[in-house]
Chain A
Amino acid sequence: MDEALLRSLTPGVIAILVRRGADFAAAEDAVQDALVEAVRVGAADPSPSPSDGRTPVRDLKAWLVTVAWRRFLDAERADAARRRREAAVDEEPAPGPVPGADDTLRLYFLCAHPSLTPSSAVALTLRAVGGLTTRQIAEACLVPEATMAQRISRAKRTVSGVRFDQPGDVATVLRVLYLVFNEGYSGDVDLVAEAIRLTRQLAAAIDHPEVAGLLALMLLHHARRAARTAPDGSLVPLAEQDRAAWDTAAVAEGIGILQAALARDRLGEFQAQAAIAALHADARTAEETDWVQVVEWYDELLRLTDSPVVRLNRAVAVGEADGARAGLAALAGLDPSLPRYAAVAAYLHERDGDLDAAARLYVEAARKAPDLAERDHLTRQAARLNARR
C-alpha cells in the first residue's frame, strides 16, 4: 500500500472537483472518502493478487477523481439544501486532462489563507494538501479528534467565500509549512517528514527562491535529527553532536538547493537561515565552524527581519567569532524577557569565566524554558557549574 503516493494526489484531486463545480468544503470531504475507499480496496497496491479477481488500477488519480466525484454527487443529492445544484451536477463530466501544478499551488494558497488562524491553517493544510485523516492530525497535535474535526470544519467555512483561482501569497504558505515542521513528532505521523514532503511538492509547483530556501532549511535541520537527542531523550548541543550521525545525503541535497536559490540573487529570510544551517552542516568538527561567516549571515538576516530573536542568536555567534566579551556586548540592549535570553547569557558568562553568574543564569533559564528537554538540559548545566564549588 503506497500511502505516500495516495496522499500526494490529494490536492490535485480536490482541485479537479472544485473545477467541476464542487465547493471546496464538499470536494474536500468527498476526496477524504475516496482516500479511505482507496485504502480499503487496495487501489494503490503495486500489484493486486490475481486471486481476488480485481484488475489493477492503472491511473490512480483518475480512479480517485471518479470515486470522489461519485461521493460528491451522492452527498449533494442527499442534501436537500443544495438542490439548486442538482441540475448542474447530474451528468458526469469526462475526466479531462487537468494541469496538476497550478491546482496544487492554489490549494496551498487556500489552506494558508490570511483569514485563517495559524492553527486552523496548519490543520487544513495537513488535511486538504497533505491528505491526512482528521484522526492523524489530532494525534499529531495532541488534541481530541472531535476538537480537530471542529477546527477543520470551521477553517473550511472561513475560506468558503474565497475564490479558488485567486492568486495567493507564497509567504503565508511558507509560514504555515514552517509551523508544521516545528510542530515535530508525535502520534503515528511524522510532521517533520510531512512538512518536508509538502514543501518539496510546493517547490515543484512554483519556482520561488524562498520556497527553495525553506526546503533547504528543513533538510539541513532534519539531517541533524538523529544526533540532536541522546537515546534517553536529552538534548545534545550542536557542538557536542556526533557529526558522523548526520544524514550526509540530506545535507548535500539541502546545500545544493540553497546554492541554486542563492544564485538567483533574491535573498529572503529562509535562504539566510538555511545559509547559517549550511555553515554548521559543512563543518567537519565544531571547531571548524566558520563563525565569522555565520555572523555575516545573521547580519543579513537582521537586515531582512530586524527581529530581537535574531539579535539574540547573533550574540552567540559573535561570542564564538570574537570571544565571549564581544558576545556579551552584542547582548547588551536586548530585552532580558526574550525567550532563551537567560540561556544565551549563561553560556556567554561561562565562556567569559564568570561561573557564578553563569550558574545563576542557567537556573533562571531552566525556569523559563518552554520545553522539557531544554529545561532538563539547562538544569544539568547549572548543576555542572554548581558541582565545581
Chain B
Amino acid sequence: MAKYLLLKHYRGGPPAACDVPMDRWTPEEISAHVKYMQDFAARLEGTGEFVDAQALAPEGTFVRYDGEGRPPVTDGPFAETKDLIAGWMVIDVDSYERALELAGELSAAPGAGGEPIHEWLELRPFLTAPPTITE
C-alpha cells in the first residue's frame, strides 16, 4: 500500500563495496547480473508488488526556459556531475520493512566472480495523495 523508489546510482552513493567496473566482468557475469535483475522483477510481479523498472542512459542534457519566444537553453552533459542515476525500480509494498528487505535482495545481484556486488541502492518513499481522513 506504499510505493517506494529503489534508485540505482552510477555514482554519488557511499563508496562501493565492489570496485571492479562492469566492463571488466566476463560476458557471462554480465548476463548473470542482467538475468538476476529480470528474475527479481518477474518475482515481484508474481507477488503483486512490482510497479515499474527503468534504466537511464548515463548522459543527459540540462534544459531551461530562456524567455518568451526564445528556444530553451541547454547545457551539459556534465561528465563530472557528482551524482549519476542509472535507473530505478518502483515497488508497491505493505511496509517499510518489506521495502528494505527487497532493496537488500536487489543489491545482492551477482557481479565479478559471481559474488553479490553489495551495490548501494537509495530507498525513497513516494509522496502520496492525501488520505481521505486527515483532520
Contact = CB atoms under 8 A, between A and B. Distances in A.
Do A and B originate from a single complex? yes
**Mostly helix, strand, loop or mixed at chain A's interface?**
helix
Interface residues of A, number: 42
Contacts of B1: 118-119, 122, 179, 183
B94 interface: yes
Contacts of A181: 132-133
A228 B134 CA distance: 10
A147 B94 contact: no
B55 interface: no
Contacts of A369: 127
A184 B132 contact: yes
Contacts, number: 89
A250 interface: no
Range for the number of chain B residues in contact with chain A = 20 to 34
Contacts of A117: 94
B130 A147 contact: no
B45 interface: yes
A143 B51 contact: yes
Interface in B94-135: 94, 125, 127-135
B51 A221 contact: no
Interface of A: 117-120, 122-123, 141-144, 146-148, 150-152, 154, 179, 181-186, 192, 217, 221-222, 224-225, 228, 235, 238, 277, 280, 369-375
26 contacts: A119-B1, A119-B48, A119-B93, A119-B94, A123-B48, A143-B92, A147-B48, A148-B48, A150-B45, A150-B46, A151-B47, A151-B49, A182-B132, A183-B1, A184-B129, A192-B132, A217-B133, A221-B135, A222-B132, A370-B125, A370-B128, A371-B128, A371-B130, A372-B128, A372-B129, A374-B134
Interface of B: 1, 3, 44-52, 92-94, 125, 127-135
Top 3 nearest A-B pairs (CB, nearest first) are: A151-B48, A182-B131, A150-B48
